[in-house]
Chains A and B, each alone.
Chain A
Amino acid sequence: MLPLWIGLTLIMAVLFVVSLFLGSVHIPVTAIFAPDKLAQIDQHILFESRFPRAIVALFGGSALALAGLFMQTLFRNPLAGPSVLGITSGASLAVAVLTLGVTASIISQYQIALAAVIGAFAVLLIILAVAKKFFDVTAVLIVGLMLSFFTSAIVSLLQSFASADAIKTFVFWGFGSFSGVSLADIYIFILPIIFVLILSPFFIKPLNALLLGEMHAGSMGINIKSLRIKIMMATGILAGVVTAFCGPVAFLGLASPHIARFVFKSVDHRIILPATILLGGILALVCDIIARLPGSDYAIPLNTVCAFMGAPVVIYLIVAGRKKKFLL
């Protein structure tokens, strides 16, 4: 298995470097060795645009992948993803209220991010309150899904009354993008994610115990209610931060754990937790590179690429893995 890990780490490093050099403007690969020899404008593109974008993709993809894994194991449901708690919908609603409801004036990137964070955490608080009351974890799942539908309905309502410009802003936010964070502010993005990533190994044992059911985990001495809360909070932070700065990125959270389980042929979280984090970063970088249609002047939305790539991959995994059953 070691070659697999080394291989994937190498792929990730290569993709990271590649993403620095692909785009609508051509920057030669040799520039790594002598960046100051580049033209001023090329330097600016490299440092201020491509580098932060690559970092956001790497950490954003890892964060969503880990959040997806948490949700799939907690709810013992292979269809779960980071959006299943309704957090992404809460963020969408808040952003919709801001862009569609508030009139006229130009809205800054940071106001959108702030609104998204508030929306995400408001929903998270509701979900945590529900989780404390209900014994059955499936109930929490259903409440989260219903909240998603409910907020979508309100968003549609807002859209029906808004101006064309406002709708455009909101729709663009909905496309998802890793280019929304400047180099100076990159710390606000990666610090919360790194915080959760560092704590994540402590979830390995409890997550493995959860695989056999909550009753079993309880018999292994785990406090189930407390574990649920911790997992949901970690997911909330990961999904909330990424949605706030990148918009509602689809698929990465759902697909990465499945791919990890398929590639490493295991459900043991000692392997799958780090594997999912690694694969999430790789997938995000791949989608981001494709989305910017290198060499051309056009770009396609990130979410479109994610869905085009994600859906067939998951279908293939289910068909190919049917006999071996690594779904969950």
Chain B
Amino acid sequence: MTAIQAENISISYHSRKENRVILTDFNLAMQKGEMLALIGSNGSGKSSLLRVLSGLQESNSGKVFWNQRDLSAIARSSRPRYLSNLFSNYARVDGFSVFDLVSLGRQPYTGIFGKLKAEDEGVIIESLEKVGMSAFWKSPIGTLSDGEFRKVMLAKMLAQNAPVMILDEPTTHLDLPSGIEFLKLLKKLARDEQKTILLSSHNISLVFKMVDKIVLLNDSGRYISGTPKEVANHELMCSFLKTSDIYFENENLIFNPKL
């Protein structure tokens, strides 16, 4: 039973001047509890692919399946119960407390005006605990650092409690310890709660160690997918790294520059 599946997805951008092909015939099948990292250079289409898989952008052809159901047949309002997103850019709104912001994650479950029930409040508090931000629940968003804000946004995503989680570059702006903490939390969710997690990242070294599968997108619409070891040794990986001054240690899954 696949949690999320892509079948022959093609994405391209058309304008009067040019036709940019981002991705051709992309296929993917993820099981419950799997964690996948999407890597590729800037402009290779990672964000576009994540948006298509999230139902936020139309692909030119192909289908996306959530829990074996065709995405286009799933009502928009019930989608957030199955899949949650963490974007790389957010409008940072002051005037909200941390608790209020995380409570936005409960919107798919609250009534017409968004009133929170005791159950909702419990989920919110639990989510804040998981990311280690419980002490900040009353703090105004404007007083948080970038890293703290991102953790709160992750808590919001957790409060949404969707089985599939798609994150676009979640570790950018985070220092190394926070980045590792973040990914470890995601790994725990995948393992303990069987959440299916898809993230894109520039931090190759970090993700190679922590995920089950890697998908690499290259600039001309091609892609490779496989386990970290498989992808690391693939020729497309070398052209992605653009220089043979980096070599991959199979044992430790580390990329080392040749000095």
Interface residues of A (CB under 8 A from B): 76, 201-202, 204-205, 208-209, 211-213, 215-216, 218-223, 261, 265-268, 270, 324-328
Residue of A nearest to B86 (CB): A219
B140 CB contacts on chain A under 8 angstroms:
324-325
Residue of B87, B96, B115 near A267 (CB, 8 A) is B96
A326 CB contacts on chain B under 8 angstroms:
94-95
Residue of A nearest to B100 (CB): A268
Q: Are B114 and A325 in contact (CB under 8 A)?
A: no
A215 CB contacts on chain B under 8 angstroms:
56, 85, 87, 89
B90 within 8 A of A: yes
Residue of A nearest to B166 (CB): A219
Taking the closest CB of chain A, its distance from the CB of B41, in whole angstroms, is 22
Taking the closest CB of chain A, its distance from the CB of B139, in whole angstroms, is 13
Interface of chain B: mostly helix, strand, loop or mixed: loop
Bound complex: CA of A208 vs CA of B108, how far in Å?
13
Q: Are B77 and A219 in contact (CB under 8 A)?
A: no
Residue of A219, A222, A265, A328 near B93 (CB, 8 A) is A328
Q: Are B107 and A209 in contact (CB under 8 A)?
A: yes
Taking the closest CB of chain B, its distance from the CB of A35, in whole angstroms, is 40
Q: Are A221 and B112 in contact (CB under 8 A)?
A: no
Q: Are B78 and A221 in contact (CB under 8 A)?
A: yes
Bound complex: CA of A265 vs CA of B138, how far in Å?
13
A328 CB contacts on chain B under 8 angstroms:
93, 95
Residue of B56, B93, B100, B113 near A201 (CB, 8 A) is B113
Count B-side interface residues using an 8 Å CB cutoff.
Answer: 28
Q: Are B87 and A216 in contact (CB under 8 A)?
A: yes
B95 CB contacts on chain A under 8 angstroms:
261, 265-267, 324-328
Bound complex: CA of A300 vs CA of B200, how far in Å?
61
Residue of B54, B91, B115 near A213 (CB, 8 A) is B91
B85 CB contacts on chain A under 8 angstroms:
215-216, 219
**Which 9 pairs show the lowest CB-CB distances between chains A and B?**
A267-B95, A325-B94, A219-B85, A326-B95, A221-B80, A213-B91, A221-B77, A205-B114, A211-B93
A223 CB contacts on chain B under 8 angstroms:
76
Q: Are B107 and A205 in contact (CB under 8 A)?
A: yes
Bound complex: CA of A79 vs CA of B4, how far in Å?
42
Pairs across A and B, CB under 8 Å, 8 listed: A205-B112, A211-B93, A213-B87, A216-B90, A218-B56, A220-B108, A266-B96, A267-B95
Q: Are A219 and B90 in contact (CB under 8 A)?
A: no
Taking the closest CB of chain A, its distance from the CB of B98, in whole angstroms, is 13
Q: Are B77 and A212 in contact (CB under 8 A)?
A: no
Q: Are B80 and A213 in contact (CB under 8 A)?
A: no
B84 within 8 A of A: yes
Bound complex: CA of A278 vs CA of B4, how far in Å?
47
B94 CB contacts on chain A under 8 angstroms:
267, 324-327
A266 CB contacts on chain B under 8 angstroms:
95-96
Q: Are B91 and A220 in contact (CB under 8 A)?
A: no
Bound complex: CA of A212 vs CA of B100, how far in Å?
12
From known contacts A212-B90, A219-B84, infer whether A270 and B114 are also in contact, taking CB-CB under 8 Å: yes
Told that A219-B54, A221-B108 touch, could you supply 10 new A-B pairs with CB distance under 8 A? A208-B104, A208-B107, A213-B91, A218-B56, A220-B80, A220-B104, A220-B107, A221-B79, A267-B94, A326-B95
Interface membership of chain B positions 48-91, coded 1 if the CB is closer than 8 angstroms to chain A and 0 otherwise: 00000010100000000000000000001111100011010111
Bound complex: CA of A126 vs CA of B174, how far in Å?
44
Residue of B78, B79, B84, B114 near A208 (CB, 8 A) is B114
Bound complex: CA of A222 vs CA of B76, how far in Å?
7
